[in-house]
Structure 1
């Protein structure tokens, strides 16, 4: 059956947004793999989100071919039942896609935050969002018996509902919208004290703030649930809700991808983009830790020479300890000066020491 009513608009919007998401996720994954070589769980969560959205668009398209987006009076009973059945499968994909999108944003922010309570909040967002999404996905097919009565109008007289599905949908959709607003504003609160370049902070904060638009889509979708439960022309009325669902997830993908594409932009402009930011929470972040020079570009490797002066009043033990600094790299008692000499990487340097660095917190984007 050819698409009719709102079906063509629905199919066009859903696949266009999937195509846009595929491009952005592909660019992000390329950046992570070949430019900064740092793949994370947030990248895999984004891919999972996109795959779920592909399933959502595919099932919606099959439903549209069966009659989704058309008035009930233009459909036979069999067409109506088939269209509603495939739309319900699409809703299951959407439930998990919405939850997984919030997981991707939360995991991305975990790359940046350093305080345990920040991470605790993000894990709370992940746990609550996925719990509600799973309950709603299960509820799509189990809230009434017999199950077939959910999509076959011929069994409507036998239907017995055990769960207020609209209330559960409102709770899930409302919480998802709240998470969009919260995750969009959270970076402004937690990143200002993180040791990042100001430009990087602004880039991340502004890009993630686009999640506000995803929240707006969620609010619009949630506000229309009551109308959908009361309409007698469900397949025609539900089309806009399906579009808002896709747009909400797409906006989430856009905002979390844009914030990670700055190294790619820098690389295309011919700049250095191999560094990025990486969080150090282990022993290397403690005071007095040495940082090696292995990651320096080959043409700018450095040899560091320490010059240590001794007071005349120092005893023999101190003098021997100070000599040990120069010859063996032992603990520093008193340092007067650092001299830095740049050498060619291919020359055979006899001494390569580590640089004493003050502790700093670096973050990965």
Structure 2
């Protein structure tokens, strides 16, 4: 059997998406906490998903070190159980991270959600995803008796596991539910921005921005044909494609959903950059992000188009006055025509301007 090693491919994908996710989630946290001053539950969930994804990538890299992506016949016998154990840990971290990021996307969309049916659609989607993910999580944990038999079987330990077809079928179901949830949360923004007081071009751009969080569905769909590898022999090598796309899916989801929150950062950059001919704000009375009149954090508008537009501006950074200097005119009304102006001259009437 050829000494083929696909471990470096798995390792490269894990490092790439771990780096991207940390960069963009860090930018998201900066935008939401510093620029917008509106760090909410969806942002906490995004941070939690990042932590879980980081654990996942750590398990992936450890698995590659001991044999993930290689043929069993080419590995030292003592390394096989270790590699399989880290593969098992990857499954748990994968389910956890994908579930949390979908919950984050759903709550983010609810910030500008108005209609009751939209709210119900989001809650139903998140509920189905969470319930099935919990079931799938525990199925993975207890697929073998004892659980450790999943990797100790390669040491000759005693135990038993459920039929591989059960895991394969459940994985197909989990992937299908994930893809449907991603598409639901990706299409819903079209209806969220439809009634907002924006020009068509802005509506399209905002809809696309909100829909970024559902890009992970592409990786989910691509991953589905490879799920059959879970029931094949030569486990560590035959499941390489599943391992790669299981990394891409949450990596894209976390990165894209973070990108959906970065519009205020880009607008601030373009406003302050001399490269784009912007004039620095001179007045201390002018701020690029005026204080909003939105409700206390954790509450969302449910009705009223003007209120919805205000929330959309606040949450997505749609302000048009960023970076523009605002002149201040002070008007002093005076009833005494004999008062002196600031230059020692008599006023001409009822008011003077400075």
What TM-score, normalized by structure 2, do the two folds share?
0.73
Q: Indicate yes or no: 2:150 matched with 1:153.
A: no
State whether residues 179 and 220 of structure 2, in contact with CA within 8 Å, keep that contact through their aligned partners in structure 1: yes
Q: What is the CA–CA distance in structure 2 between the aligned matches of 1:302 and 1:203, rounded to whole Å?
A: 39
Using the TM superposition, give the Cα deviation of residue 213 of structure 1 relative to its aligned residue in structure 2, in angstroms. Answer: 4.0
Partner of residue 134, structure 1: 134
Query: What is the SS of the residue equivalent to 2:30?
Result: helix
5 Å matches for 1:216-255? 216-229=218-231, 231-255=232-256
Partner of residue 170, structure 2: 168
Q: What is the CA–CA distance in structure 1 between the aligned matches of 2:98 and 2:127, rounded to whole Å?
A: 13
5 Å matches for 1:1-365? 5-151=5-151, 152-155=153-156, 158-161=159-162, 164-195=166-197, 200-211=202-213, 213-229=215-231, 231-270=232-271, 272-274=288-290, 278=294
1:217-269 CA distance string (max 9 Å, x none)? 1012122112331x211101222212212211122223322221111111112
C-alpha distance 141-212 of structure 1, shift in aligned 2 (>3 A): closer
Using the TM superposition, give the Cα deviation of residue 270 of structure 1 relative to its aligned residue in structure 2, in angstroms. Answer: 2.4
Using the TM superposition, give the Cα deviation of residue 149 of structure 1 relative to its aligned residue in structure 2, in angstroms. Answer: 2.4
Bigger drift between 158-167 and 45-54 goes to 158-167
Aligned residues: 295
1:6-30 CA distance string (max 9 Å, x none)? 1122112112111111111111111
C-alpha distance 95-201 of structure 1, shift in aligned 2 (>3 A): same
Structure 2: segments with no counterpart, 5+ residues: 273-287, 307-320, 332-350
Query: What is the SS of the residue equivalent to 2:39?
Result: coil
Bigger drift between 45-54 and 269-278 goes to 269-278
Using the TM superposition, give the Cα deviation of residue 77 of structure 1 relative to its aligned residue in structure 2, in angstroms. Answer: 3.0
Structure 1: segments with no counterpart, 5+ residues: 288-295, 304-340, 345-365
Q: What is the CA–CA distance in structure 2 between the aligned matches of 1:182 and 1:39, rounded to whole Å?
A: 25
CA RMSD of aligned residues (A): 3.3
C-alpha distance 281-58 of structure 1, shift in aligned 2 (>3 A): closer
Q: What is the CA–CA distance in structure 2 between the aligned matches of 1:240 and 1:301, rounded to whole Å?
A: 66
State whether residues 215 and 256 of structure 2, in contact with CA within 8 Å, keep that contact through their aligned partners in structure 1: no
Using the TM superposition, give the Cα deviation of residue 274 of structure 1 relative to its aligned residue in structure 2, in angstroms. Answer: 4.0
Using the TM superposition, give the Cα deviation of residue 199 of structure 1 relative to its aligned residue in structure 2, in angstroms. Answer: 5.2
State whether residues 68 and 236 of structure 1, in contact with CA within 8 Å, keep that contact through their aligned partners in structure 2: yes
What TM-score, normalized by structure 1, do the two folds share?
0.71
